Structure 1
Amino acid sequence: MILLSTAILASSCSKKKNEPETPVNPPTSQVEELDITSQATLTVNIENTGGKTAKEGSSSLVDNKLDTKFLIYSFAKTFYMQMEFPTAKQIGSYTLTAGDDADDRDPQTWTLTASVDGSTWVELNAQAYEFFPTRTQTKRYDFINPKAYKFYRLNVTDIRGGSLFQLTEWRLIQMPDSKQRTFPISSVETIVEGKNTLTFVNKTGDLNATVKAGLLNVFKVNYQKMADVYNPAAKDKVIFVIEPGYKGVAATWGGSVIRYDPDWFRNNPKDLDVVTHEMMHVIQSYPPVADAGWVTEGIADYVRFTMGLTNAEANWSLPNFTSSQSYRDAYRVTARFFYWLEKHGYEGIVIKLDKSMRSGAYTTAAFWPANTGKTVDQLWTDYSNNSAL
């Protein structure tokens, strides 16, 4: 049995004169930081098909084990999980533990609400576009709550993808006023530019204002311009998430959610065309294509090179050819090869390549001879013999 643990910090207390026996809003001195999940009764409005006590039933949400989980097959945006205590409790923190597989089943957006009577609800905490980078990872959410409530409800309105939802654990932590805080800090802004809408989610609380303005500017200047060239039917809603939990510069998830590592921009504040590269992935929207990851990344860096706004300031460029390179290296190496093709008799090849990828028709064996009269290996040989741009 693998047990979850929550750090418990006890505080001493003494009863005040004329103090009621069971106050609705207990004084700070009577509340200690404590995981009190076991005191509550859990209910869900969508249950596992096998029932609450099935192997993946809702009872697994609160069994304090990492090797069990709750799973439902028909997630709906009205889904919630609720805990009811025998008496009102002052909750100031909760934890969620992701499932052991299939990260598209993770909760992504939710609110925590509370009620005295189970009828009127108040929002205590909200999270948008959350991310669990590792399986069975536990994340803690702290918030300010000066009152005690009998009912607490987690309303999950969005998951990473698909129709299945899973969660390993949901724990509620009682918290005195003196120890309450808001963490992680998260803000959500909506920016409309023409027919496109950007949702900007900042989970750092301290993103540099100049960097933020630069990220927004790249979206405003480049997104529609890129879509006009490559995919006029591209998504008109894009989400930027500044995510401390993500390590790796940037990545596009679920088609239109782009996560950025804030540490990268702290160290490289001029490297704003990371946005151009990632937005191209949103515009690409390719289906799975076998043996073509190098094409996807090569096109994205080609677009960054040809349409980027701050490449020079960021000291970003395409590398000179060397004999150790391959067109399959992807990113900048492949981007330079594509740019060379455009300048040496194959103008428009990148647009054709992009369309072929998006249609799902692309194969390395067929595309290049059909559109250039040569195999990609023959083209690479031509490039290696005279790589000057």
Structure 2
Amino acid sequence: MKVKLTFMLCCCVLLSISFVSQAQVDITNSGGTISAQYTDSPTNEDITKLIDNNSSTKYLTFHNAGWVQFRAGSPSIVTSYAITSANDAAERDPLNWNFQASNNGTTWVTLDTRSNEDFPNRLQRKTYSFSNTTAYTYFKLNLTNNSGTILQVAEWEIYGTASPVATVYQHCSYGGYAVALTPGTYTLSALQARGMVNNDVSSVRVTAGYKIIFFDQDNFAGTSLEKTGDDDCLVNENFNDLTTSIRVEQVTGGGDWSNFVLPTVVFQDLSPSSAGSITFHRAIPDPVATMRNSILPMLQKIYSGPNDNVRTFTKLTLIIEDYDGVAEAWGGGGERSIRVSTRHIQNVYNQSNNDATVRTEILGILSHEATHTAQHEPKNAGGYQGGTEFFGFIEGVADYVRISLGLHPTRSPQTGGNWKDGYTTSGFFLNWIVNNKGDRDFAIKFNRAAGTYATWSWDIACRDILGIGVQTLWNEYQASLSASRIATSAPYAMGITADCRHDEEHIAPNEKQSIQVFPNPAKGKLEITLHHIEANDRTEVQFVSATFKKTTYITGANGTVNTDDLPAGIYVMIVRDKKGNSHKQRVIIEK
């Protein structure tokens, strides 16, 4: 939907301010206040449970009728909402209601009315749509139940598009033509479609709680300038008439993680006599502490802070058991469970004969499964089957977290496949986007979009966050992998000298078990463990890419290498011991 407003300048020129609506989002996730007519709810069934994105919780009042109200952080044009029935007692479900909106909390407009609605199933989500073109700040449901004296609802979602929160002007002092922008991303073509000329912005107005980021190149590249308030002349910032692309974002205020309360962790070993259990305990002496220590690093990859609508829980049960498989996670409400196969753990040990390798595998599994306990789940994105938007997101984000924490050292990006394949195919793709497309918070925004969009897809999320479609991103990613493979497989053609080649007869046996790096991808410091090296041995370490070569040395079995002087890219790390054996490892360097 396109909305056009006009106003008269003093010179009698009609000026057009236009904006294109963004994807519909659940505005209850964007900051605001929830309230109710009655405050007689039992403990843990208060009004805040109505918008906590958890259908296992509910709001309950000991009245057969009452209103609930949400005040949004900024005006939105709402055209649909969703109600989810609670876990029990169908007679408590809402039967009749009206949905109202207001801009002052006093004068209300009825946008939708429903009678004799039926929720035959527990935890059933139903969506209701209507026509509306007016932005409102207050929203209210006036509800009456089926029968009895108790009313309850599990979830209330309100879907709409934001009003403009920033306006850019052609001249200083807010003169010339103007372009109003809603939260989102704007390439040069998108800005031109709204009437803006390249390199033609001189002043800006920004609504409190939002920020606008100007870029002097297209696709959010080059020098940037961020403004969180009005600026009547960008000349003062040396950014006059330089804007080519723009991002408009909410200032999330995610909060300080230092005060975040971690869940209670309970550990259960259901197969204590299995070989895998013995191996697990040898690699992970304190499972409870290890599990707790895995939670916060995971959350920091997909949330900006504890106030970023984090899907929290109070209890996590870690189970190890002898069964076919690798691991799984499940749960709802305030409890989650993770189960890890001791059979898989023993297989890893049998292949590596190395406790450090087993520990890295376990930490990687825990980071992946912990992500499942906390990540958002996209709506209307298909089911949990390979190849769906939903599957690609769920398993892709979980493996992205594992990869970005350096806990997937035996895997590397591969050409082919599709972004919806999940696991490492999607995970390495997400990791590439985060490190190469100019937005280090992409994964956080990607997860946030899954929790707020009424209909989610990879393409919608990528376009709204980066202004680029997913197919374009995927093509660029695949091209980068192909280029990397050419670079590392043809050293002579790419200018790598002959002494950097790795002749097969000089490679030591079991090299995957002989060398370990952490983290991988690495940024700043890279820790290297050499399991075949004696305490006082001095070992040569080389990093080789198509265009760069660095040689350094470490003493003993453990060492740390500073990678700050290595350009970002994919390297072959070659370790040469005093016996003349070479051990190699693929390493990704980030900036």
Where on the TM-score scale, by shorter chain, does this alignment land: which range? Answer: 0.3 to 0.5
Larger Rg: 2
**When the two structures are superposed, what TM-score results if normalisation uses the length of structure 2?**
0.30
Larger RCO (CA under 8 A, 6+ residues apart): 1
Between Structure 1 and Structure 2, the one with more strand by share is: 2
**When the two structures are superposed, what TM-score results if normalisation uses the length of structure 1?**
0.45
